[in-house]
Amino acid sequence: MSADKDRRSLVRRILADLSPLRASRDFRLIWSGLLVSELGYQFTLVATYVQVTRLTGSAAAVGAIGFFGFVALVAGSLLGASFLDAFDRRRVLLLSQLGYMTGSALLLAGALQGRPPVGLVYLAVALIAGISAIEGPTRSAMTPRLVGPELVPSALALNQIVWNGTGLLGPALAGVVIAKLGLPWAYGIDLATYGAMLLAAWAIRPIPLEPSEGATRGWAAVREGFAYLRGRRVLGSTFVIDIVAMVFGMPRALFPILAVTRFHGGAEVTGLLFSAPAVGALIGAATTGWVRHVRRQGAAVIWAVVLWGVGIAAFGLVGGRLWLALACLAFAGGADVISAVFRSTILQLTVPDALRGRLSAIHILVVTGGPRLGDLEAGLVAAAFTPQISVVSGGALCVLGAALLAWRVPELRRYRAGEPA
């Protein structure tokens, strides 16, 4: 009997904690809506890279997807920070879904033309990115109110399961759909799936400001959010280390080119390359029962980013062996999800609710803007040298950057759960 109890306890410490889904109806609805809509978004993610590759044949043009997305993220983050903590977050979440659907409809209309101007693709990508800078922080800032502080690490790990589960399945399906049915089907699937989050946001309770909270709006709210970061070296360094990891160590803009030049495939191989990091990330997220017991969260972030860089550099060195390349990407994805869980936990549990929307907006700008700058960096380095040099050098710089930050900001490597950040 004791042995059975010990085994059950060990399993609970390893497998993801489902308590937030049981404890909160509203979190369960939002989580389910995110699952469906995020799966659809993966179709658009792959389709835009494939479409620009077909339209231009240029690594730099594909990398420019990241540039336009990043510019829109900055604009969306600044706009969102001006009002996110002053309105009912449920209402903001509802309106954001309509913005997403507009961007997806533009892509669908362009794909139905056959060969639309590449500028139309960039415009739609920018619109979706700008909306994500408002929608993502809104949803993140809701989490502590939905589940309570104790369950925040478990809730964030469950969100990682969604992102990485859909990141695994979605690109692989997208590659098949694009190859067999065409780009319009991929964009149409994405457009339809936003309805799930729209319904979920409609069904949850309103989340207005707490009575003790202020209602700062406009640029004063933006300044207040950035002012909060000053002097908080641990919190700021979690943003910096993710920028390092994603700008230098994210080679996804090269996946359509590597699929052809190194692995001698097409859209199906591109889909596999996009899915591979999510394989490791999903395994990592599904075995996060232990994360709420980790005290040295800063050190965990540093080591996870180092391992991410190692995996990316190895991916660049394996040559044309596709399954070994996929394994390296999966290893990197497993490390990345652990970094994401602890970085998000530090943010959500150290920032007061009255500022959480604005700080989440800055966080989302880093998390989703970094890969877009990484697209630009990867494309430009590949155009100047070779795709292999771009991938390997990026992974190495990621490791070097994490080590440098650990040296320059000792507060991060010493940070323990529950301490001020």
Using alpha carbons, select from 385, 255, 407 the residue that is nearest to residue 326: 255
In degrees and rounded to multiples of 5, residue 148 shows phi and psi of 90, 155
Segment holding 254, helix H or strand E: none
pLDDT at 212: 46
The amino acid sitting at 371 is P
Give CA–CA dist 146/19, Å, rounded. Answer: 12
Q: Is there a domain that residue 210 lies in? A: no
pLDDT at 266: 79
Distance CA 21, CA 146 (A): 10
Q: Which of 191, 88, 196, 77 is nearest to 137 (CA)?
A: 77
Q: Which of 42, 288, 35 is nearest to 153 (CA)?
A: 288
114 sits in the region (left: phi over 0; alpha: psi -120 to 50; else beta) called left
> Residue 163's pLDDT is what?
81
**Mean pLDDT of successive 10-residue segments in the chain (421 residues)?**
53 72 93 94 91 87 85 85 80 93 94 89 94 88 84 83 83 88 94 94 82 58 76 85 88 87 84 85 78 78 94 92 93 90 83 77 77 83 89 94 93 79 63
**In-domain check, residue 209:** no
Tokens of 225: 């959010």
Are residues 315 and 372 in contact, defined by beta-carbon separation less than 8 angstroms? Answer: no
- pLDDT of amino acid 218: 64
* Assigned domain for 173 exists: yes
> Is the sign of the CA dihedral 120, 122, 124, 127 positive or negative?
negative
Q: pTM for this one?
A: 0.71
228: domain CATH number is: 1.20.1250.20
pLDDT at position 217 is: 62
Flag whether 8 is in a domain. no
What pLDDT is attached to residue 390? 92
Do the domain assignments include residue 14?
Answer: no
Query: In this structure, is residue 7 part of a structural domain?
Result: no
Give the range of the structural domain holding residue 61, as residue numbers without chain letter. Answer: 19-203+217-414
The full DSSP string for 112-136 is HHSS--HHHHHHHHHHHHHHHHHHH
| Residue 14 confidence (pLDDT) | 65
Identify whether 211 is part of a domain. no
Domains in the chain: how many in total? 1
Q: Under a CB-based contact definition with an 8 Å cutoff, are residues 146 and 27 in contact? A: yes
Q: Other C-beta atoms within 10 Å of 215: how many? A: 11
Q: Quick check: is 419 in a domain? A: no
